Amino acid sequence: MGVTEKRLCNPRAIGLEQVDTYVGLIVKYGKHRHFPFLPHFLYCFMNFDYKPQHVFLIGIDSDGCAFDTMELKHKECFVPNTIKYWNLQGVSKYAREAFEFVNLYSKSRGINRFPALIETLQWLQRRPEVKQRGVKIEIPQSLIDWVARETKLGNPALKAEVERNPDPGLKQTLEWSLAINKTVDFIVDKGVPPFPFVRESLEKMKGKADVLVVSATPQEALVREWEEQNIGQYVAAICGQEVGTKKESLEKAQQIGNYGENRILMIGDAPGDHKAAVANRALFFPINPGAEEQSWRRLCVEGLDRFFAGTFAGVYQQELLDEFNRYLPSEPPWGTSQ
């Protein structure tokens, strides 16, 4: 799909509900089915349809990595809806702290919203202050089971599951997730540009590597944000949560492009991004939380040169990982009980 065509394929012009419906049809009936009324960009992005042009592959995470949207989305969109839909009004302070710890300030940063919800509720179950207030935190077993078996953790797959199994806990989860998307669309809108040096880095990748967006963010939001900021032109495909996990997206890309050793680079801001890279024997450049601008500048000035020159692996890679691991803790700053 050409740059001009991609720019014309703006999901906002179609409508969020229609995009969810289109994606849901593909998930429900299979990617092999043809729906003539579907926008072409959904076929391309949902089918991971790109033609390799280069010997290098670079995957880039979006929220909190390319865009300074993590704090905005989680604090202003996710947290209020989590408090509302999971009846956490009586412990809202602790719910906010737990949700922000899981999604922003811990080694779980960047994970999919559904396992993040489970982890948030688990931390609240173990918090003494919550128990003292007599608020019972319930986690639907149906949600735990669905997250454990589903590989494409997104609203389309959850909608299909609810149609098959109208479980109250899954229906509650779907309502929560859909509400988050609507709030993100309302709050974030068009006002968040990429971090400094993102555009310059993309320019440096141009003509040398196949570039993919590899993210756990819903597909519609990714397409909209990358196109609105006019940087969608630099990527061969956008792979959101409906396409699969980050690990799966990189794996599919490797199958398509058959890239050689040390010729795949994942750029991310969370341990999950690093795990996806390791699972695919890819190199990893961390965008350190709280030091994003410095990280992107370092990537642009030296990291990409090392990657293309074949001097990234080894000592340089380990230096980056050692620094990255110091940024995010695994335990919260508050006390817990069993």
> Is residue 33 one of the residues assigned to a domain?
no
- Give the per-residue pLDDT at 47: 52
Tell me, yes or no, whether 53 and 172 share the same domain: no
Asked whether residue 310 carries a pLDDT value surpassing 80, the answer given is yes
Q: Which domain holds residue 246?
A: 3-19+39-68+194-325
Domain boundary at 187, 215, 244, which?
Answer: 187
- Give the per-residue pLDDT at 319: 97
Asked whether residue 317 carries a pLDDT value surpassing 80, the answer given is yes
- How far out from the chain centre does Cα 240 lie? 7
Over residues 204-220, mean pLDDT? 93
- Give the per-residue pLDDT at 19: 44
The lowest-confidence range among 110-119, 196-205, 216-225, 254-263 is 216-225
Asked whether residue 154 carries a pLDDT value surpassing 80, the answer given is yes
Over residues 189-217, mean pLDDT? 93
Q: What whole-number distance in Å separates Cα of residue 67 and Cα of residue 293? A: 11
The residue behind tokens 């849901």 is: 24
- Give the per-residue pLDDT at 298: 98
Over residues 224-239, mean pLDDT? 91
The lowest-confidence range among 44-58, 148-162, 192-206 is 44-58
Q: What whole-number distance in Å separates Cα of residue 214 and Cα of residue 245? A: 8
- Give the per-residue pLDDT at 139: 97
- Give the per-residue pLDDT at 1: 37
Residue 234 sits in a domain whose CATH number is: 3.40.50.1000
Q: What whole-number distance in Å separates Cα of residue 21 and Cα of residue 38? A: 10
Tell me, yes or no, whether 63 and 76 share the same domain: no
pTM given for the model: 0.75
